[in-house]
Amino acid sequence: MDTEKGRNDIEFENGKALGTYWAALCLDGLLRTRQFIRGINEAIKEKTNNKKPIHILYAGTGPFATLILPFIFRYSKQDIKYTFLEINPFSFKLLKNVILKLGLEEYNISLINSDATKYQVDSKNEPDIIISETMQNALAKEQQVPIFLNLMRQVKNETIFIPEKINLFIGLKKAEIPLEEIQSKDYKKEMKVFEVSKESMFPSNNLNKATATEVSFTKKQTIIRNEKLKGFNQIVIITEIQVYKNEKIEINESGLTTPLFIKDIPNDLKSSISIDTQYIISSEPKLEYKITYHTPNQLA
């Protein structure tokens, strides 16, 4: 995989898909991988209590289907059927090899080389659990949001999405702490500015789902008064992930939740700050922001 072909990311109008080599390396984000597997374990236990077989759709498997592989051995064909979606043809080819080498053909696994932002769910074979980890910190660059939007609008409310919730906050980083010593307590969340979850994206359930093709996310404004900036030296975007129920990835625990620096705060700043934000899906998805400085009178 460590070749030019394997290292090349693929660009799409909704964001990029990682090169095979990078997708394989996600496994090494040990805390990430553990938390996702623990969350998926909870969701599977819950769903298999009521129904068999359950159907798991995994969007963006990478070459190893890392987050699901441990479960394939644990549950029988009668318990779980799988649909694996992967957009990168090289990752898809290696995934097929992995499945063959591990002798998994006897399990009920459908392998589909296609784009999860456009994939049409078969209404007669709706998934009970949908998994995708196609994100970076601050939900930048990759296709997590368009993938979940496409899939959320097609399925019933009972479908569990993994991760269950991703929150972005405007936050502050404490001053005078060297980068290598920084801990999650050194960041302060100011305001939640974006949430990815079934509840936030489709609050009125099925009614609007079919028509919600043109998406524009709510603009938010975070105002931080000058006195609240004292002792902090950076404005950041903070990411928190609720994988499922109590299984979470908190600030700075993984590359996916590393706070993203957006602006230095000068020591002698006399003004307050407002930050206008809106999440945008484009060839480079991101939380767009505009920072404005205000004199105390302007905010009064």
Ligand X SMILES: C[S@@+](CC[C@H](N)C(=O)[O-])C[C@H]1O[C@@H](n2cnc3c(N)ncnc32)[C@H](O)[C@@H]1O
Member of 57, 81, 99, 134 binding ligand X (CB under 6 A): 134
> What SS3 class is residue 246?
coil
| Nearest residue to ligand X on Cβ basis | 60
Report the b/e string of 43-54 with b at 16+ CB within 10 A.
bbeebbeeeebb
Query: Which CB atom, from 144 or from 272, has the smaller least distance to ligand X?
Result: 144
- Return the DSSP state at 177: -
Query: Which CB atom, from 67 or from 99, has the smaller least distance to ligand X?
Result: 67
Alpha-helical (H) ranges within the chain are 4-7, 20-25, 30-48, 69-74, 89-101, 144-152, 198-201, 296-299
Binding-site size, ligand X (CB under 6 A): 23
Stretch binding ligand X (CB under 6 A), from 84-92, 220-228, 241-249, 266-274: 84-92
Query: Which CB atom, from 66 or from 272, has the smaller least distance to ligand X?
Result: 66
For position 23 contacting ligand X by CB under 6 A, the verdict is: yes
Burial of 214 (0-12, 13-18, 19+ CB in 10 A): exposed
For position 67 contacting ligand X by CB under 6 A, the verdict is: yes
For position 27 contacting ligand X by CB under 6 A, the verdict is: yes
Stretch binding ligand X (CB under 6 A), from 75-83, 97-105, 111-119, 179-187: 111-119
Integer Cα distance of 46 and 4 in angstroms: 42
- Sort strands 80-85 and 109-112 into parallel, antiparallel or unpaired: parallel
Quickly tell me which residue has 């969350």 as its tokens.
39
Query: Which CB atom, from 23 or from 273, has the smaller least distance to ligand X?
Result: 23
- Positions touching ligand X (CB under 6 A) are 17-18, 23, 26-27, 59-62, 66-67, 85-88, 91, 115-117, 133-134, 143, 147
